């Protein structure tokens, strides 16, 4: 089986639509959606676009999906979230129906799927042990060994930090699929094609047109999202510096 893995869409429907066109050309047997699906400018349309694909799609939950469910339920959000992110999360929840909330709430945190030429692959959002654990291309090997302790699969696919990488540690290949909707580094939409090899993919799409659609979405962070997540994302070096500082504070 060949699988396309798309992570961290964050309600960026224009990016998703472009990626799905390329995926259609690649003709995978399955699409794995790796979490953080709706938290962004076009949450409802993004989720409904994916659900319309039917049995061809499998989903796991990301930390942002979990927060959207909490916001829908009127529960306290993660106190570590910046105020503007909290505002965006609450707005996202208000765009969804109860059926959307229930779908997100019931998603598994990880999934194991067989892939041609790669045997079983473990798909998770942040890491095998947490949907918000931070892993980047410069995460120390000692911490990677701790994160992957007990993993029986030879390949682990993650997301969460929005930057692609392909690392090997003690016989385990750890791959970040990147972000479809909110990448760091060069602009575009990033995803992963598995089977029989691991192929990091990048889709180019009309960024200016996407930015216009996002600005008119009503999302409270629309201008910032269009400018700093679509047109000119932070560099990987900038993002890694922030993420590694956060990881050190949490350890």
Mean pLDDT of the chain: 97
Structure-token pair, residue 213: 């659609």
81-110 pLDDT tens trace: 899 999 999 999 999 999 999 999 999 999
CB of 153 within 8 A of CB of 112? yes
| Residues comprising the chain, all counted | 251
For residue 201, the surrounding DSSP H or E stretch is strand 198-203
> Is the pLDDT assigned to residue 250 strictly greater than 80?
no
pLDDT of residue 247: 84
CA of 217: how far to CAs of 63, 74, 209, 214, in Å? 23, 23, 13, 5
User: Residue range 155-171: average pLDDT?
Assistant: 97
User: Residue range 227-250: average pLDDT?
Assistant: 91
Tokens 């980047």, located at residue: 136
User: Residue range 120-133: average pLDDT?
Assistant: 98
State how far the Cα of 180 lies from the Cα of 245, in Å rounded to an integer: 24
Classify burial at 131, counting beta carbons within 10 Å of its beta carbon; exposed 0-12, middle 13-18, buried 19 or more: buried
User: Residue range 217-243: average pLDDT?
Assistant: 96
User: Which residues make Cβ contacts (< 8 Å) with residue 113, sequence separation at least 6?
Assistant: 1, 3, 30, 32, 58, 120, 121, 123
User: Residue range 72-87: average pLDDT?
Assistant: 94
> Is the pLDDT assigned to residue 246 strictly greater than 90?
no
Go through the domains of the chain in sequence order and give each one's CATH number: 3-119+176-233 (3.60.21.10)
> Is the pLDDT assigned to residue 35 strictly greater than 70?
yes
> Is the pLDDT assigned to residue 39 strictly greater than 90?
yes
> Is the pLDDT assigned to residue 251 strictly greater than 70?
no
pLDDT of residue 209: 98
pLDDT of residue 245: 86
User: Residue range 163-183: average pLDDT?
Assistant: 98
């Amino acid at each position: 089986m060949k699988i396309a893995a798309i992570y961290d869409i964050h309600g960026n429907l224009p990016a998703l639509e472009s990626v799905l066109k390329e995926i259609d050309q690649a003709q995978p047997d399955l699409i794995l959606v790796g979490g953080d699906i709706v938290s962004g400018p076009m949450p409802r349309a993004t989720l409904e676009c994916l659900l319309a694909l039917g049995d061809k799609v499998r989903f796991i939950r990301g930390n942002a999906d979990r927060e959207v469910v909490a916001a829908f339920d009127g529960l306290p959000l993660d106190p570590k979230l910046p105020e503007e992110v909290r505002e965006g999360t609450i707005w996202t929840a208000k765009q969804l129906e109860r059926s959307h909330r229930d779908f997100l709430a019931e998603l598994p945190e990880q999934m194991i799927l067989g892939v041609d030429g790669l045997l079983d692959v473990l798909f998770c959002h942040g890491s095998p042990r947490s949907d918000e654990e931070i892993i980047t291309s410069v995460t120390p090997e000692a911490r990677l060994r701790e994160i992957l302790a007990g993993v029986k699969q030879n390949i682990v696919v993650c997301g969460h930090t929005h930057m692609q990488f392909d690392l090997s540690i003690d016989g385990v290949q750890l791959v970040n699929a990147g972000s479809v909707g909110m990448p760091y580094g060069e602009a575009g939409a990033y995803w992963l094609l598995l089977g029989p090899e691991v192929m990091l993919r990048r889709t180019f799409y009309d960024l200016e047109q996407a930015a216009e659609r996002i600005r008119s979405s009503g999302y409270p962070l629309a201008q910032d999202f269009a400018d700093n997540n679509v047109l000119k994302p932070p560099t990987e070096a900038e993002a890694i510096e922030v993420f590694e500082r956060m990881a050190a504070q949490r350890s």
